Amino acid sequence: MNLLINTAMNNNLALCPQCHKLNKLRSEAAKREKIQCVRCHGLFYQRKPQSLQYTLAWNIAALIAFIPANLYPIMIIYSLGIGDPSTILSGIGQFIDQGLYPIAVIIFTASIIVPLLKIIGLFLLVYRVHTGVRLRPDKHSKFYHALEFLGPWSMLDVFVVALLVAVVELGFVTSVAAGPAINYFTLTVIFTMLAANSFDPRLLWDKNQDKEILKEENDN
Amino acid sequence: MSTNIDTKQFIACQQCDALYGKPDLIQGQSAKCVRCGNIMAERKVDSIERSFHWSLAGILLLLPAILLPIMGVTLAGQYHHASLLDCIVALIDRGFFMIATLVFLFAVAVPVVRLFGAFYITYTFKFNKLKPSLLPFFRAFHHLDSWAMLNVFMLGIVVSMYKLLDDTELSVNLGLLAFILWLISSTMASIALDQDYIWQELEDEFVN
């Protein structure tokens, strides 16, 4: 597999992330400096600076927020004055008890699997790019895009709680209140989205290219 | 390597940085990166017209979708319904300011700004009123791309309906229809918008 492909970076060019215009770099030093796009005048870097560090930091924040998000109740259902708190997991349990399996699966995927997959997946990507061990840029970049696409769907539970709080408001008979977990859960979702945005998928290919060049030099 | 490259002759993949000669696309064609499979450039069919009309439809549907009640419940003779705006107001009443702000941003503000943005841009193209201020405007427009969550809110409506169906009498209101149509038109407006074409035209007009 020939992975030594001509890239914009090798040609002293940088791609504007907003308008996708190629910009020429004026000097060698400009590789790490802020560039102003000639077309849209937006500021950008050839590669996101400290991309791995930012991703890691947001990721750790997301992981920390995910703990109280699961321990505190996300929703409290009051009926005839008695409150019944439920966490994310016990809410899913209620759906299973009621036999609503498709909904249980959707909520479980959106609230538990996707955030965890995103956090673990981004840790893995950062690790692979950092060390270069078993790096498969073709597979890993597809995986990254899947993570990026799935991100917003985790907000599902928050929207469901917001809707239930607004709709089920029948005074003493029954009402729904949001629990403190909703704050932490929203923070988890936002932090994972910021973590995914901080990651620069081009690093996967850069690292791979460096490895290929190194291998070629060793062979000769 | 050489520094005398004419940047107009080349494009690079946004995802893996591979460099290619600029393809000459006709409407409906797209260029895919051979290395990572990402669609780098796309020439959309009838982009300005389609996006203009979809965003116009979206703007007309905006107020009914936000203000009309989406669904209501009846239990023990009492009835209560709520609209999208009521969700935000209810959260504010209970003191969940952060969640209220974020729901407002993701489900109301960002989609609304995107709709008006798409409408304004296509309007200026359709009636040939291009001006240099469109460059920073369209650049700012791109920052909102990943923060519109109307589709997620729609799934939220479906899930909460299921939940309510079980132990209450659920009624669906006109707001749901308006919301679905609003979701469709704002999605279509942003799908139809051809960003490459708009940038190219703006560049030819105002840069050099």
CA–CA distance, B115 with B208 (Å, rounded to integer): 30
Facing B17 at nearest CB: one of A15, A159, A168: A15
Report the distance separating Cα A47 and Cα A34, nearest Å. Answer: 10
CATH 3.20.20 fits B46-206, yes or no: no
Q: Which of residues 118-157 of A touch B (CB under 8 A)?
A: 137-138, 141-142, 145, 148, 151-153, 155-156
Report the domain count for chain A.
2
For residue B104, the SS3 value is helix
Measure in Å the smallest separation between the Cα of A37 and chain B Cα atoms: 11
Reading the block at residue A9, the tokens are 């970076």
Interchain pair B102, A165: CB under 8 A: no
| Rounded-to-integer distance, Cα A122 and Cα A112, Å | 16
**Planar angle of CA B80, B85, B89, nearest 5 degrees:** 80
Is A170 in contact with B103 (Cβ distance < 8 A)? no
Instruction: Please tell me the distance from the alpha carbon of residue A142 to that of residue B138, in angstroms, as a whole number.
Output: 28
A82 and A13 within one domain: no
Q: Which residues of A touch B87 (CB under 8 A)?
A: 162-163, 165-166
Whether residues A87 and A140 share a domain: the answer is yes
Question: Angle CA(A113)–CA(A116)–CA(A120) in degrees, nearest 5?
Answer: 135
B22-37 per-position pLDDT tens digit? 888 888 888 888 888 8
- In the predicted model, residues of chain A with pLDDT beneath 50 are 1-2
Contact at CB, A178 and B162, closer than 8 angstroms: no
Q: What burial letters (b/e) apply to B80-96, b meaning 16+ CB within 10 Å?
A: bbbbbbbbbebbeeeeb
Quick: pLDDT tens for B4-17: 667 778 888 888 88
How far is Cα A22 from Cα A12, in angstroms, rounded to an integer?
10
pLDDT digits (tens, 9 = 90+) for B47-105: 899 999 999 999 999 999 999 988 888 877 778 888 899 889 988 988 889 899 999 99
Q: Which amino acid is at B10?
A: F
What ipTM goes with this model?
A: 0.87
Return all residues near B32 (Cβ < 8 A) that are at least 6 apart: B38, B39, B40
State whether A71 and A16 are in the same domain.
no
- What is the predicted pLDDT for the residue at B1? 44
Section B173-201 average pLDDT: 89
In angstroms, the CA B142 to CA B112 distance is: 14
A100/A168 same-domain check: yes
In terms of CA atoms, which chain B residue is nearest residue A161? B160
According to the model, what pLDDT value does residue A191 have? 94
DSSP type of residue B148? -
Does A197 lie in the same domain as A122?
yes
**One domain, residues A58 and A39:** no
pLDDT of residue B88: 92
Amino acid A177: pLDDT: 86
**Residue appearing with tokens 């308008």:** A19
CB-based contact A168 B168, cutoff 8 Å: yes
CB within 8 Å: A100 and B166: yes
Query: Same domain, yes or no, for A203 and A129?
Result: yes
Q: Cβ separation of A167 and B153 shorter than 8 Å?
A: no
Q: Are A12 and A58 within one domain? A: no
Non-local (6+) Cβ contacts of A10 within 8 A are: B1, B19
Q: Supply the range of the domain harboring residue A16.
A: 1-46
CB of A206 less than 8 A from some CB of B: yes
pLDDT at B55: 93
Distance from CA of A3 to the nearest CA of B (A): 8
Closest chain B residue to the Cα of A169, Cα to Cα: B80
What residues in B contact A204, CB-CB < 8 Å? 16
Give the SS3 label for residue B43.
coil
Same domain for A183 and A169, yes or no, is yes
Say if residue A26 is in the same domain as residue A64: no
Of A40, A141, A167, the CB nearest to B81: A167
Q: Which two tokens stand for residue B173?
A: 């209101």
Between B74 and B182, whose confidence is greater? B182
User: B165 with B157: CB under 8 angstroms?
Assistant: no
Report how far residue B187's alpha carbon sits from residue B61's, in angstroms, rounded to the nearest whole number: 13
How far is B56 from B66, CA to CA, in rounded Å?
16
And the tokens for B198?
A: 């708009």
Please indicate, yes or no, whether residues A5 and A31 belong to a single structural domain of this protein: yes
Mean pLDDT of B93-120: 91
Chain B residues whose beta carbon lies within 8 Å of the beta carbon of residue A205: 16-18, 35-36
pLDDT of the residue at A36: 85
Question: Which residues of B are less than 8 Å from A152 in CB distance?
Answer: 106, 146-147, 149, 152
Q: Going along B57-147, which residue ranges are E strands?
A: 69-75, 78-83
pTM for this predicted structure: 0.87
Q: Find the mean pLDDT for residues B171-191.
A: 90
Mean pLDDT computed over every residue of chain B: 86
Residues A215, A157, single domain; the answer is yes
Q: How far apart are CA B38 and CA B41, in angstroms?
A: 9
φ, ψ of residue A206 in degrees (nearest 5): -60, -45
Strands B69-75 and B169-172: antiparallel
Query: Per-residue pLDDT for B2 more than 60?
Result: no
Extents of the domains making up chain B:
1-43, 46-206
